[in-house]
Amino acid sequence: MKILIAEDDATSRLLLTCVLQKQGHEVLETIDGIEAWEALQQPDAPRLVILDWMMAKMDGLEVLRRVRAQASERPPYIIMLTVRNETPHIIAGLEAGANDYLGKPFDSGELVARVAVGQRLIEMQDALARKVDELHQSRADLHVLAARLQAIREEERTLLARELHDSFGQHLTALQMDLMWMDGHLQSSKTPDLGPLSDRIVAMVPQIERLTEQTQTLCTALRPSVLFELGLVAAIEWQVEDVAKRSGLVATTSLPVEDVDLDEGLALPLFRIVQEALTNVIRHAKATSLDVRLQIADQALELIIQDNGRGFPADLLAGSKALGLLGMRERVITFGGTVDFLNALGTGATVRVRVPLPTANLTIHPIDHP
Ligand X SMILES: Nc1ncnc2c1ncn2[C@@H]1O[C@H](COP(=O)(O)OP(=O)(O)OP(=O)(O)O)[C@@H](O)[C@H]1O
Residue ranges binding ligand X (CB under 6 A): 280-281, 283-285, 307, 309-313, 316, 322-325, 349
Query: 249 or 285: whose CB is closer to ligand X?
Result: 285
Q: Which is nearer to ligand X, 83 or 326 (CB)?
A: 326
User: Whose Cβ is closer to ligand X: residue 5's or residue 325's?
Assistant: 325
State which of residues 30, 99, 176, 280 lies at the interface with Mg ion (CB under 5 A). Answer: 280
Residues with Cβ within 8 Å of 149's Cβ and at least 6 positions away in sequence, in order, are none
- Neighbouring CB atoms inside 10 A of 236's CB total 25
Q: Are 350 and 341 in contact (CB under 8 A)?
A: yes
Site string for Mg ion, 307-346 (x = CB under 5 A): -----------------x----------------------
> For residue 5, what are the contacts with CB-CB under 8 A and spacing of at least 6?
13, 16, 17, 20, 27, 28, 29, 30, 49, 50
DSSP assignment letter at 285:
I
Q: How far is the CB of 171 from Mg ion (least distance, A)?
A: 34
Residue 307, binding choice from Mg ion, ligand X, none, Cβ under 5 to 8 Å by partner class: ligand X
Task: Using alpha carbons, list the distances in angstroms from residue 293 to 242, 335, 362.
Answer: 16, 20, 18
Three-class SS state of 183? helix
Least gap, CB of 328 to Mg ion (angstroms): 9
Q: Which is closer to Mg ion, CB of 37 or CB of 341?
A: 341
| Cis peptide preceding 105, ω within 30 of 0 | yes
Q: Which is nearer to Mg ion, 295 or 320 (CB)?
A: 320
Select from ligand X, Mg ion, none the partner in contact with residue 113, using the beta carbon and a kind-dependent cut-off of 5 to 8 Å: none
Min CB(306)–ligand X separation in Å: 9
Could you give phi then psi for residue 230, rounded to 5 degrees? -115, -10
- Which stretches of the chain bind Mg ion, using CB under 5 A? 280, 324
